[in-house]
Amino acid sequence: MLKVQNLSKKFAQHGATVSALSDVSFELPAGASLGVTGESGAGKSTLLNLLGGLEKPSAGQITFNDRDLLRMTDQEEAKFRQQDLGFIFQFHQLLEDFSVLENVMMPLLIGGTPRQQAEETAQIWLDKVGIAHTAKRFPKEVSGGEQQRAAIARGLIHRPCLVLADEPTGNLDEGNADHVFELLCDLNHDLGATLVMVTHHADFAKRLTHHMVLRDGQIKNWQTNLK
Amino acid sequence: MMLFLAKRFLGQKNERSVRSQIMLISFLGLLFVSAFVIVALAILSGSQKVYRDAVLNFNAHILIFHQDGLYEHEVKSINAFLLENTQGFHASGYQYHEILVPTKLGLKPVIVKGIELAQKKEVYPLSWQEEKNFSGDGAYLGKELYRSLQARGETFSYINAKEGLSLKQSLRIAGQFESGYFDFDERFVLMDLALLRKTFSKAQQVEGLEIRLNHVEELDVVAEALWQKFGDDFEIQTWKELNHSLFEALKLDRTVVFSVSLLVVMIACLNFFGFLFLFFMERRREFLLLNRLGLSKQGLGRLLVFVGLSVGGASVGLGSVLGLAFVFYLHKVGIALDPTVYFVDRVPVFLEPIWIVAFVSGALLLCWLTAQLAGMVLLKDKKA
Ligand SMILES: Nc1ncnc2c1ncn2[C@@H]1O[C@H](COP(=O)(O)OP(=O)(O)O)[C@@H](O)[C@H]1O
Ligand SMILES: [Mg+2]
């Protein structure tokens, strides 16, 4: 269960403070999937970054499975990211110096899995996302869609129980976006992880169990989709 | 894992040419500095050793003298006293006389030192070399003087300075000695006291007594005892006092070379810091991403230290090997020097293993500190 209470985030911008997120509260049951939509600048990425611990909130609380995500030491945070958290970034953010395969196996390596085993697992995941042929290539040598698939594989390979995805289909063409979305949903379903996905495709969000619309840093609409 | 990450980050697949150039520069900088410091240390200590050994072997440990000379009975009582108060010693009376010797470069003033030749090896542990098939009385010439003689034969000519320039006489050559220090080897002739007295009609008493102890550690104690006993009657000097200014000069030399080396090493480290800083700055995004994938800050710090130590270690290591190779070359082959300027005829080198160990570990420590520092500076504002 992901529980967010009175979450706020203010940024100092040219002397003035900008409120990117104000007083956001919601609860998401374990295994549920939440689609977050809203206009550009509404605070979607900010929300996701706060959930992932990439930024610290100005106020509020976040707990996941009764764990306070805001009160973790550096070590605990690293451990949480290694074991429980899968992050799929807006701009797929692959490491340029590493091959696609190495990028995908990175979370396992960081978590201490032996190289050989990590490589085998990564190969399986590349297969799952359908880009096994790109294993040895470097990020610059593969297409945007393939990069995004690699990023998904990297976000899920360590079987996290909380997956955060920031516009994973953001810079893909229509057909590709649809494929990647389906893929992410399916894989997430297999893992049984809680998913929070930011997207600007409202119809994607409607296909998830929950749908949140943000505007000016506040929840404008919260909807539970019954299937 | 660190190795894997570091290898990739240091790899040059993506042609980040500026980075790789700066990396190369700081790598080579540290490499050459290491080589330079090793060679500088070797030459410094080599020349100091030559200088010191020569001076110490040419001069005895303790000098006892009087302006009117020492009489036989005085020498005897000093000897008796030393026999009781030391764990063994060798002593030789000495007397000086000045002559001029015609050489290829013209007339050269030379000091003839009369010593007790029977004791020559004990009191003066120089490299002594006898002329072939020589017997009887003769003079031992410094190696450089011997080499520069105008006409070399069984005898050499000289002019007795006291008797006017026109009277040319000659002396038999018994052999050569070499101290390793150019000034001594070119300016001195050693011979037995008896021969000196006979040849130059000198007084029967010696000017002073030179004493070499079997155990140098006793020097201060023995000198003090001598001073207590004979201090009122004679002048007493130890080689420490005698060569005080020399040792001061050597110390100054050392200080200067060490300071310059330290400065150069510091500059190289600064350069290296620049490289690490740039390396980290350029890869901020990547490191941040690794952090997001679960690599802790400590892990990132370790990665940077790993990078710093492996690059730094490789360049210090290679540099030291290069330096050692050059030192070895100097040792085996040597580079000729003009002995009139440098006291020695080739670049002397001397290295103690402990210094290499000290330097390499010191440099690695600096690399480590540099990496730590760069890591600290960069990890401080890591949250973004
Ligand atoms: N690091 C930051 N510094 C200052 N302002 C920021 C920062 N990140 C986001 N903002 C501001 O917060 C608001 C929400 O941004 P964001 O969450 O990125 O929006 P979205 O992802 O919905 O497009 C915007 O007005 C943006 O300018
Ligand atoms: Mg955004």
**Res B251 pLDDT > 90:** no
Is residue B384 over pLDDT 50?
Answer: no
pLDDT of residue B188 exceeding 90: yes
Task: Write down which residue in B227, B242, B257 finishes a domain.
Answer: B242
pLDDT confidence bin for B383, thresholds 50/70/90: very low
* Position B384 in a domain: no
CA distance to A107, A201, B237, per residue, from B59 (Å): 73, 97, 11
Q: A222 forms bridges with which residues in the sheet?
A: A212
Share of chain A above pLDDT 90, in %: 58
Q: What band does B299 get if pLDDT is binned at 50, 70 and 90?
A: confident
The preferred substitution site among A14, A45, A220 for testing ligand 1, maximizing ligand atoms within 8 Å of CB, is A45
Ligand 1 centroid, distance to A46 Cα (angstroms): 6
Tell whether B194 and B331 lie within a shared domain: no
Residue B316 and residue B259 share a domain = yes
The answer to whether residue A185 sits within a structural domain is: yes
In a domain, B383, yes or no: no
| Strand A210-215 relative to strand A218-224, pairing | antiparallel
DSSP string, B33-98: HHHHHHHHHHHHHHHHHHHHHHHHHHS-SEEEEEEEEE-HHHHHHHHHHHHHHSS-EEEEEEEEEE
Which residue CA neighbors atom 11 of ligand 1 most closely? A20
Identify whether residues B82 and B210 lie together within a single domain: yes
Query: What is the average pLDDT value for chain B, to the nearest integer?
Result: 83
Three-state DSSP class for residue B320 = helix
pLDDT for residue B307: 83
pLDDT at res. A15: 83
Domain identity same for B334 and B273: yes
Which structural domain range is residue A104 located in?
Answer: 31-58+74-224
Residues facing A224 on adjacent strands: A210
How far is it, in rounded angstroms, from Cα A163 to Cα A184?
10
Residues of B in contact with A151 (CB under 8 A): none
Which of A98-107, A128-137, B263-272 has the lowest average pLDDT?
Answer: B263-272
pLDDT at B244: 80
Are residues B170 and B291 part of one domain? Answer: no
**Which of B1, B8, B294 is the closest to A81 by Cβ?**
B294
What is the layout of strands, in order, in the sheet containing A162-166?
A85-88, A162-166, A194-198, A33-38, A210-215, A218-224
Q: What is the pLDDT, as a whole number, of residue B79?
A: 92
What tokens were used for B178? 């070499």
**How far is the C-alpha of B212 from the C-alpha of B41, rounded, in Å?**
30
pLDDT tens-place string over residues B93-119: 999 999 989 888 888 899 999 999 888
Rounded distance between C-alpha atoms, residue B154 and residue B169, angstroms: 13
B188 and B250 in a common domain: no
* Residue A66 within a domain: no
Give the residue, B171 or B242, on which the prediction is more confident: B171
Residues in contact with A169: Cβ distance below 8 Å, sequence separation at least 6, in sequence order:
A148, A176, A177, A178, A180, A181, A199, A201, A204
Q: Is the pLDDT of residue B246 over 80?
A: no
* Residues B31, B160 share a domain: no
Q: Is residue A39 part of a domain?
A: yes
Residue A52: inside a domain: yes
B27's tokens = 């790598």
In this predicted structure, the answer to whether residue B183 has a pLDDT above a threshold of 50 is: yes
pLDDT at A214 over 90: yes
In this predicted structure, the answer to whether residue B381 has a pLDDT above a threshold of 60 is no
Whether residues B74 and B204 share a domain: the answer is yes
Secondary structure in 3-state letters for B202-244: CCCCEEEEEEEECCHHHHHHHHHHHHHHHCCCCEEEEHHHHCH
B230 in the same domain as B348 = no
| Interchain contact B380–A (C-beta under 8 A) | no
Q: How far apart are CA A135 and CA A102, in angstroms?
A: 8
**The pLDDT of residue B341:** 61
B4 part of contact set with chain A, CB < 8 Å = yes
Give domain status of residue B164, yes or no. yes
**Domain total for chain A?**
1
Task: Name residues whose C-beta falls within 8 Å of residue B176's C-beta, 6 or more positions apart in sequence.
Answer: B128, B129, B140, B141, B142, B143, B146
Say if A167 falls within a structural domain. Answer: yes
Burial A52-65 (b: 16+ CB within 10 A, else e): bbbbebbebebbbe
pLDDT above 90 covers a percentage of chain B that reads 19
Task: Label residue A165 exposed, middle or buried (CB < 10 Å: 0-12, 13-18, 19+).
Answer: buried
Per-residue pLDDT at B212:
92
> Chain A interface, mutation test: which of B4, B293, B382, most A Cβ atoms within 10 Å?
B293
Classify residue A24: in a domain, yes or no: no
Alpha helices in chain A, H assignment, sequence order: 44-51, 74-83, 100-110, 115-128, 144-156, 174-191, 202-206
Which of B226, B242, B258 terminates a domain? The answer is B242
Same domain, B171 and B131: yes
Atom of ligand 1 nearest to the CA of A49: 17
Point out the ligand nearest to the CA of residue A167.
2
- Residue B166: the pLDDT is 63
Contacts of B38 (CB under 8 A, 6+ apart): B319, B320, B323, B324, B326, B327, B351, B356, B359
| pLDDT tens-digit map of A21-77 | 999 999 999 989 999 999 999 999 999 999 998 889 999 999 999 889 988 888 898
In chain B, residues with a C-beta closer than 8 Å to the C-beta of A80 are 294
Name the residue range of residue B219's domain.
Answer: 60-242
The beta-carbon neighbor of B9 closest among A52, A82, A97 is A97
Which residues is B107 bridged to in the sheet? B102
User: Residue B12: its pLDDT value, please?
Assistant: 54
Q: What is the pLDDT of residue B344?
A: 64
**Lowest-pLDDT range of A116-130, A132-146, B334-348:** B334-348
- Does the distance separating the beta carbons of A52 and B294 come in below 8 Å? no
Query: Residue A122 sits in a domain of what CATH number?
Result: 3.40.50.300
- Examine the domain organization and report whether B74 and B129 are in the same domain: yes
Cα–Cα nearest to B60, from B200, B226, B257: B226
The residue whose C-alpha atom lies closest to atom 12 belonging to ligand 1 is A20
The type of residue at B126 is: L
pLDDT at B161 over 80: no
The tally of domains found in chain B comes to 2
Q: Indicate yes or no: CB of A138 within 8 angstroms of CB of B11.
A: no
Q: Burial of B276 by CB count in 10 Å (0-12 exposed, 13-18 middle, 19+ buried)?
A: buried
Residue A21 lies in a domain: no
Nearest CA to ligand 1 atom 20: A41
**B345 and B263 both lie in a single domain:** yes
What's the average model confidence in pLDDT over B198-218? 89
